[in-house]
Amino acid sequence: MKIHLISVIGADWHRDLIPHFIEYYKKLAVTDFHIILNGRKQVNIDTATKILSPIVPELWLGEYTEETKLEKILNTIQQIKNKWIVIADVDEFHDYGEPLTKLLKRCNRKGIKIIGGKFQDRTTKTGELLKVVPNVDIFEQFPIIIGDI
């Protein structure tokens, strides 16, 4: 089963989250990553592109707007068509309550076309807002759930 992920990532701000994000969704069985990198500075886009390798992102150099983000996501959806797609920001680690492939197989059998995942806001043990460390599991860094959305 192919599972696609679409994400617009701010290369100027969220580079430290990229490895955690990609690894998390690989563990959920996402097979195809459609990443759109946005940034004002080419050097930040270049750095984020290296972090994403071997994934080759679409590059969007310039001012971020919600309108352009939505346009880019919708264009990507049109290219994929009729497949399972996860749409997540780089700081969103969706929880489906069971293995995603199992859930989607059940949805396919029942004719369900869209589902949602649960978001959980997390913090450090002390409640401090700390910089993300690349080589330590993201859930070890932010182990305390402070709310479900």
* Cα–Cα distance measured from residue 32 to residue 25, given in angstroms and rounded to the nearest whole number: 10
Q: Indicate the average pLDDT of the chain.
A: 93
Give the pLDDT confidence of 12-33 residue by residue, as tens digits: 998 999 999 999 999 999 999 9
Tell me the residue range of the domain where 19 lies: 3-148
Q: Output the six-digit token pair for 143.
A: 């182990």
Give the pLDDT confidence of 109-140 residue by residue, as tens digits: 999 988 888 878 888 999 988 899 888 999 99
Identify the band that residue 149 occupies on the pLDDT scale cut at 50, 70 and 90.
low
Identify the band that residue 59 occupies on the pLDDT scale cut at 50, 70 and 90.
very high
Pick the more confident residue, 14 or 60. 60
**pLDDT higher than 80, residue 148:** no
- Beta carbons of 147 and 118 less than 8 angstroms apart: no
Identify the band that residue 78 occupies on the pLDDT scale cut at 50, 70 and 90.
very high
Overall number of domains in the chain: 1
pTM assigned to the model: 0.91
125, burial (CB in 10 Å: exposed 0-12, middle 13-18, buried 19+):
exposed
Give the pLDDT confidence of 99-108 residue by residue, as tens digits: 999 999 999 9
CA angle 97, 118, 125 (to 5 degrees): 95
DSSP 118: B
User: Which amino acid belongs to residue 63?
Assistant: E
